[in-house]
């Protein structure tokens, strides 16, 4: 029986006894108040990270940034270089192939030399969120800042009659170069560009630039044009540029709409504030100065892409090579999706902190499908490049939805997912073979339109599950079952004899000469690294391998080194391995997740541009991994909001969700040498699970962790403490029920929803009927333990009552019988086994706010409930 809790001190005072005293605690560290000031865009610009250090705003079209002599992929800047070739208008953050870096402008003095480059020193360089500056060796101080679709520069030249700006239009093999002097203070032009990973030119970039003083001359050189100024009396030349992928008129309008004045400092401040607006969605306290800087820089890098395609008037160039205009609730069209990468981490994080942009990103992908007949796999602006493998588009959309970004055409998205997964298209390569064999053969004379047969099948399996989860969330159980079943095709390439994923031939035999350390039939990895790549069904994979002990042995071996050595170890700097450390949670050893994740953070993520330890950032994918891990959890399963638990780097993490709720993690003992969870509570109730409930990421709640320097090998180790795994039954049978389901519970009584009054997490909050509104208060997790959870607390019969008319409330989960419910699918009743009575709407009321009760089961509509799929 529940009793109202009275604090010990109050009890003692009531008895006339003095309350015990305790030592004063040190004041909790304050939350970071200006996260943008901690961003260091130079991190990731070395050792193949391929990020860029220049000026930008979140998800922006313009990123005005320096390009250096070695011009590495995407970012076009290497920290090891000391020569600038130009400052170009757009960039990709962290890809493996070169692209963008269009329309670089280089300030020089003296005679015009189209091949000119200029030296610089890092000691004369400054990079921050929304701004970049460098004092070049030729004496020109260059300062850059941006708005979403425009850039602003302040070039301070020496006093000279030959102050030049070189427009190197043919950079990155751009073609069809156009440059026009509109007036003495304005130039415009365009280039055809793209050429990502040897793909064809895929877009036209248009620009229009104005100056605050007149040119004294202009000229041409091979591959570009120049303009010249006389700076003997006014050494500073300011420039404003608009970019568009539609037209020069669009570029002009973008500049005029977003930056009408000549206020460089004000524009720079606005860019800084724009970053604070989104970075501040995750407030952190504690940790070291270096950890805070790496955290906010990683969050910054996670929110650079996808980038704006639509102009300020809503027009954009579509996949069908036509101009379209955004409509309805969509505010902007976005492009450039590195799908193979971002469906694992970045899409979920985007939805968590920027739900409007993520909803627009989802609608952008739906628009792409309408124009092209497929979801992009790896798109550059408005064109598919066919880089990498798999079919990640549906998973990205499902990720957005699962983490709360739902303001898009979900019906069209589901229809597109089903069509993409069942009919021939340019993305779902080998679909006919998978349909016929249940796997992708590694041999045969058929057209080889896919590569990495095993890796691709594993990608398809995870991505099919994401489609299943999305369909289930929308109530389409037929589609959910269909794709959940096919998501188990990974079993067809798992060799129970060897314990590895292996290539299989047309005749069903394993390919000879298998070497688990080889990349044959894998993509950017080996079988060692890919064998654990079943993020939706780790339980099933562990069982197939022979049980927890066998799977733990595999994880121990592959994670004994995480730098990719010899192909037999994980590479935590690249995508195929990044889920592996979290999989100990699924097999009863969560303390190893906590240990290894901390080791990865310490070794691969230094606050040092020169010593960066992670590979390609891949449009924020790797950075998002760091953000998730530093908060203390990870979105292991695509298409769901399931979070596998690790431990936070910080004493407090407070995420402001799109619905205004807060996701809070308190860990007062957090320290670099204290990654081990000793105990936990969730919304005040004991929590002994190595995961967080599905509604935590969308509805919020408070997780309190006690951390320590030694492993607690008893916490969250039981089978019921593992994160959910999802298995299908094969054939035409429906899949087995997931360990948890989350969504609205609707009533047959006027279609009302089960609701937590005011989304309160206070014990005793009324559980009521209310008009359905998809709010966090109506997101109910149906647990495999018989509980119904909202915002991390349980639907509870007050005072463990068993009598008719006993009211129902929200209370901290404690395993009591008053919090158990069984579902009778025939009568649709939710029965409390302790009392034998049914969850009931009193007097079949249709009034919002009617508190629910238990009552004798009578099969009326007031007791008929529909569970989430």
Q: How many Å apart are CA 195 and CA 427, to the nearest integer?
A: 19
Partners of 209 in beta bridges: 187, 241
Cα 170 → chain centroid: 34
Radius of gyration (Cα) for the chain, nearest Å? Answer: 29
Q: How many Å apart are CA 788 and CA 767, to the nearest integer?
A: 11
Q: For residue 319, what pLDDT is reported?
A: 97
Q: How many Å apart are CA 246 and CA 324, to the nearest integer?
A: 10
Q: For residue 448, what pLDDT is reported?
A: 56
Strand, helix or coil for residue 227: strand
Q: Pick from 862, 854, 857: which is nearest to 802 by CA?
A: 854
Strand, helix or coil for residue 794: strand
Cβ atoms of 197 and 252 closer than 8 Å? no
Q: How many Å apart are CA 166 and CA 187, to the nearest integer?
A: 12
Q: Name residue, tokens 């069942």.
A: 422
Q: For residue 2, what pLDDT is reported?
A: 32
Distances (CA, A) of 401 to 406, 638, 640: 5, 11, 8
* Domains delineated in the chain: 44-277 (2.70.98.10), 316-428 (1.20.1050.60), 740-866 (2.80.10.50)
Q: For residue 736, what pLDDT is reported?
A: 32
Q: For residue 445, what pLDDT is reported?
A: 59
Q: For residue 200, what pLDDT is reported?
A: 79
Longest dimension (CA), the chain: 94
- Scored b (16 or more CB within 10 A) or e, 335-353 reads bbbbbbbbbbbbbbbbbbb
- Dihedral pair phi/psi, residue 479, rounded to 5°: -65, -40
pLDDT mean by block of 10 residues, the chain; 869 residues? 31 31 55 97 96 98 97 94 98 95 98 97 98 98 98 98 98 93 98 89 94 97 97 98 98 98 98 98 98 98 98 98 97 98 98 98 98 97 94 98 97 98 94 94 72 96 97 92 96 97 95 96 97 97 97 98 96 98 98 98 97 95 98 97 97 96 97 98 94 92 97 96 80 34 90 93 93 90 84 89 93 84 84 87 96 93 91
Q: How many Å apart are CA 88 and CA 645, to the nearest integer?
A: 41
Q: Pick from 252, 69, 61: which is nearest to 148 by CA?
A: 61
Distances (CA, A) of 245 to 191, 292, 605, 636: 10, 36, 35, 36
Q: Pick from 296, 385, 399, 389: which is nearest to 342 by CA?
A: 399
Q: How many Å apart are CA 411 and CA 420, to the nearest integer?
A: 14
Could you say which DSSP state residue 32 is in? Answer: P
Q: For residue 552, what pLDDT is reported?
A: 98
Dihedral angle of Cα 689, 693, 698, 699, to the nearest 10 degrees: -100
Q: Name residue, tokens 């969700």.
A: 657
């Amino acid at each position: 029986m529940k009793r109202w809790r009275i604090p010990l001190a109050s009890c003692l005072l009531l008895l006339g006894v003095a309350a015990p005293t305790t030592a004063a605690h040190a004041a909790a560290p304050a939350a970071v108040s200006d996260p943008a000031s901690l961003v260091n865009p130079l991190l990731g610009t070395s050792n193949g990270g391929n990020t860029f250090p220049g000026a930008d705003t979140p998800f922006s079209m313009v990123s005005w940034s320096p390009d250096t002599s070695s011009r590495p992929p995407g970012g076009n800047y290497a920290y090891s270089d000391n020569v600038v070739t130009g400052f170009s208008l757009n960039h990709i953050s962290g890809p493996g192939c070169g692209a963008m870096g269009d329309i670089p402008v280089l300030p020089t003095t003296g005679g015009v030399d189209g091949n000119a480059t200029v030296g610089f020193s890092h000691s004369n360089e400054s990079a921050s969120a929304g701004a970049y500056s460098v004092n070049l060796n030729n004496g020109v101080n260059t300062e850059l800042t941006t708005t979403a679709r425009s850039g602003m520069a302040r070039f301070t030249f020496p006093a000279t009659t030959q102050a030049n700006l070189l427009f190197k239009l043919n950079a990155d093999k751009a073609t069809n170069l156009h440059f026009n002097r509109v007036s003495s203070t304005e130039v415009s032009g365009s280039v055809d560009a793209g050429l990502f990973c040897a793909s064809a030119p895929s877009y036209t970039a248009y620009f229009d630039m104005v100056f605050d003083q007149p040119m004294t001359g202009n000229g041409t050189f091979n591959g570009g044009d120049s303009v010249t100024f006389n700076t003997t009396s006014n050494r500073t030349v300011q420039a404003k540029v608009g970019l568009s992928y539609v037209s020069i008129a669009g570029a002009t309008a973008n500049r005029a709409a977003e930056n009408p004045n000549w206020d460089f400092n004000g524009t720079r401040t606005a860019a800084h504030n724009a970053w604070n607006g989104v970075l501040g969605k995750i407030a952190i306290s504690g940790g070291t100065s270096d950890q805070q800087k790496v955290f906010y820089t990683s969050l910054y890098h996670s929110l650079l892409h996808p980038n704006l395609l639509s102009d300020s008037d809503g027009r954009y160039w579509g996949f069908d090579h036509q101009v379209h205009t955004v409509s309805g609730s969509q505010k902007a069209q976005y492009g450039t999706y590195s799908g193979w990468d971002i469906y694992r981490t970045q899409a979920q994080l985007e939805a968590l902190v920027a739900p409007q942009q993520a909803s627009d990103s989802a609608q952008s992908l739906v628009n792409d499908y309408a124009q092209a007949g497929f979801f992009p796999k790896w798109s550059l602006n408005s064109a598919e490049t066919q880089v990498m493998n798999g079919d990640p588009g549906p998973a990205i959309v499902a990720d957005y939805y699962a983490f709360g970004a739902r303001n898009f055409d979900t019906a069209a998205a589901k229809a597109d997912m089903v069509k993409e997964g069942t009919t021939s298209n340019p993305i779902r390569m080998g679909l006919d073979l998978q349909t016929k064999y249940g796997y992708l053969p590694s041999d045969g004379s058929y057209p080889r339109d896919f590569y990495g047969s095993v890796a691709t099948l594993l990608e398809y399996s995870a991505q099919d599950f994401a489609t299943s989860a999305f369909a289930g969330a929308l109530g389409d159980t037929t589609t959910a079952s269909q794709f959940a079943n096919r998501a188990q095709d990974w079993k067809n390439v798992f060799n129970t004899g060897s314990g590895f994923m292996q290539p299989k031939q047309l005749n069903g035999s394993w390919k000879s000469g298998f070497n688990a350390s080889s990349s044959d039939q894998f993509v950017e990895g080996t079988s060692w690294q890919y064998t654990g790549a079943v993020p939706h069904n780790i339980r099933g994979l562990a069982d197939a391998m022979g049980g927890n002990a066998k799977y733990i042995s595999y994880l121990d071996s592959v994670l004994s080194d995480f730098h990719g050595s010899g192909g037999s170890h994980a590479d935590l700097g690249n995508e195929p391995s990044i889920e592996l450390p979290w999989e100990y949670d699924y097999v009863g050893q969560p303390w190893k997740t906590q240990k290894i994740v901390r080791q990865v953070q310490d070794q691969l993520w230094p606050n040092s541009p020169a010593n960066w330890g992670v590979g390609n950032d891949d449009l924020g994918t790797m950075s998002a991994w760091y953000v998730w891990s530093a908060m203390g959890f990870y979105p292991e399963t695509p298409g769901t909001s399931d979070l596998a638990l690790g431990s936070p780097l910080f004493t407090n993490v407070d995420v402001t969700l799109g619905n205004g709720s807060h996701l809070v993690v308190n860990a007062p003992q957090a320290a670099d040498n204290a990654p081990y969870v000793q105990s936990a509570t969730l919304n005040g109730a004991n929590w002994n699970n190595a995961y967080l409930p599905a509604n935590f990421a969308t509805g919020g709640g408070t997780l309190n962790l006690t951390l320590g320097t030694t492993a607690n090998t008893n916490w969250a180790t039981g089978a019921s403490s593992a994160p959910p795994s999802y298995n299908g039954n094969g054939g035409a049978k429906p899949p087995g029920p997931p360990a948890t389901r989350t969504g609205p519970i609707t009533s047959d009584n006027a279609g009302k929803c089960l609701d937590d009054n005011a989304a309160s997490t206070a014990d005793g909050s009324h559980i009521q009927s209310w008009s359905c509104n998809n709010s966090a208060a109506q997101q109910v997790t149906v647990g495999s333990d018989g509980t119904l959870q909202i915002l991390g607390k349980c639907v509870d019969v007050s005072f463990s009552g068993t009598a008719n008319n006993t009211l129902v409330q929200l209370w901290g989960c404690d395993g009591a019988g008053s919090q158990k419910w069984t579902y009778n699918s025939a009568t649709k009743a939710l029965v409390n086994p302790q009392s034998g009575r049914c969850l009931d709407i009193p007097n079949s009321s249709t009034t919002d706010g009617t508190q629910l009760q238990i009552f004798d089961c009578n099969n009326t509509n007031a007791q008929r409930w529909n569970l989430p799929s």
